[in-house]
Amino acid sequence: MDLYEHQAKELFARHGITVPPGRVAATAQEARLIATELKAPVVIKAQVKTGGRGKAGGVRLAPGPAAAENEARRILGMDIKGHTSHTVLVEKATGGFEEYYAAFLVDRANRTLLAMVSSEGGMDIEEVAATKPHALARIPIDALTGVDLDTARLLAASAGLPEDVHDAAAATLVRLWEVMVEEDALLVEVNPLACTSDRRVLALDGKVSLDDNASFRHDHAAFADGADDGGLEARARAKHLNYVKLEGQVGVIGNGAGLVMSTLDVVAYAGERFGGVRPANFLDIGGGASAQVMADGLEIILSDPDVRAVLVNVFGGITACDAVANGIVAALQTFGEEGPRCPIVVRLDGNNAELGHRILSDAGHPMVRVVTTMDGAAELVAELAAA
């Protein structure tokens, strides 16, 4: 999950990194109020999850509350590279500073963690790397030893930061590393990392990407976008299902993102011959297709009123097809006497496929049809959805 600048700065502040005082506003009036409270010139900053806001006119200085209101009105709703700015950050402006760059990230190509520090901040780091490579220190960080003050001083020196800021910069770098490790981030970036004339170091911008696989260890839920409307996708998320609602009529369940993607394709292709029937969703139930996961998946898909038929397409691997078939039979029982409200086509292949087929035919559920090929299954489910 990528964070907004104001959220990144909230994490920075929690770890003792200095950030300018300020708050986020959703209306121009609110921006004016915050500027009044801060009793100082402010910067109004578009909150969008993309860079280059400055160049796009999404970062503006305002000498006082009235200007703050005007700038906020201009920036709210602004489109920056396809992202709409629904809120602005109103922050006390920092005057007269040098701009550096600091980041820690996962360097997948080299299978390591990487520190990138530069004395040339403010501009795109790609540009610095291309035009002034000597001003960019790229130093691998050992995950076990991490970044202590000595390492951080070395980073500051290698990046060519002035000597009289090494101590302050190093202290900030250690804290930034703490954010990386303690918050389970994949990327923490500060550009510009500002150094004022009285040699204070503060984060004027912030970019943080959190590792969603570690979300259970954290209390980061408040950072998630408020797009949750209690709809199907939110319900699916609550059941830990990887579900995306689409516009069509065929519910699709499969195991593995690649298999589900290709199932969507064959369903859409087959659907062309049945009046343009299309997939209604993406749902990947992952490896362990247990009865409970199958029941949860079917329940979500069948609550979509557009769905007229369902295709279950599973390739048996570690979880063999007989276990999946038993899962389907058990899931069907959760629908009680009347059964699911529309037909379910099942295609099982891979480990123990024949045993899986036998389990389903022995169960003899009137709403379930077994087809052995993917194309055949897509054809039948499209036909049933069109009927």
User: Judging by beta carbons within 10 Å of its beta carbon (0-12, 13-18, 19+), is residue 318 exposed, middle or buried?
Assistant: exposed
93 binds, among ligand GDP, Mn ion, none (CB under 5 to 8 A by kind): ligand GDP
* Contacts with 225 (C-beta within 8 Å, 6 or more apart), sequence order: none
For the window 110-139, what string marks contact with ligand GDP as x by the rule CB under 6 A? ------------x-----------------
Quote the least distance from Cβ 93 to Mn ion, whole Å.
15
**Nearer residue to ligand GDP within complex by CB, 60 or 357:** 60
Which position among 65, 192, 316, 327 is part of the footprint of ligand GDP (CB under 6 A)?
192
Indicate the residue whose CB is closest to Mn ion: 205
Which position among 52, 57, 258, 276 is part of the footprint of ligand GDP (CB under 6 A)?
52
Residues from 338 through 357 that contact ligand GDP (CB under 6 A): none
CA distance 150 to 170: 8
Which position among 205, 284, 304, 322 is part of the footprint of Mn ion (CB under 5 A)?
205
Quote the least distance from Cβ 20 to ligand GDP, whole Å.
6
Residues from 175 through 194 that contact Mn ion (CB under 5 A): 191
36-40, long-range: CB < 8 A, 24+ apart: 36/65, 38/90, 38/91, 38/92, 40/92, 40/93
Residue 385: alpha-carbon gap to chain centroid: 33
CA distance 231 to 304: 10
Which position among 51, 146, 256, 376 is part of the footprint of ligand GDP (CB under 6 A)?
51
Indicate the residue whose CB is closest to ligand GDP: 54
Q: Tokens 């100082």 label which residue?
A: 40
22 binds ligand GDP, rule: CB under 6 A: no
Quote the least distance from Cβ 54 to ligand GDP, whole Å.
3
Choices 12-20, 201-209, 237-245, 329-337; region in contact with Mn ion by CB under 5 A: 201-209
43 binds ligand GDP, rule: CB under 6 A: yes
Choices 30-38, 78-86, 197-205, 243-251; region in contact with Mn ion by CB under 5 A: 197-205
155 binds ligand GDP, rule: CB under 6 A: no
Instruction: State the catalytic residues.
Output: 101, 189
Q: Which amino acid would we find at residue 319?
A: T
**Nearer residue to ligand GDP within complex by CB, 2 or 184:** 2
21 binds ligand GDP, rule: CB under 6 A: no
**Nearer residue to ligand GDP within complex by CB, 125 or 321:** 125
* Contacts with 254 (C-beta within 8 Å, 6 or more apart), sequence order: 260, 263, 283, 284, 285, 312, 313, 314, 315
Quote the least distance from Cβ 3 to Mn ion, whole Å.
14
Which residues are part of a known binding site? 45, 52-54, 91, 94, 99, 191, 205, 255, 317-319
Q: Binding residues for ligand GDP, per CB under 6 A? A: 43, 45, 51-54, 59, 93-94, 99, 122, 191-192, 204-205
Q: Binding residues for Mn ion, per CB under 5 A? A: 191, 205
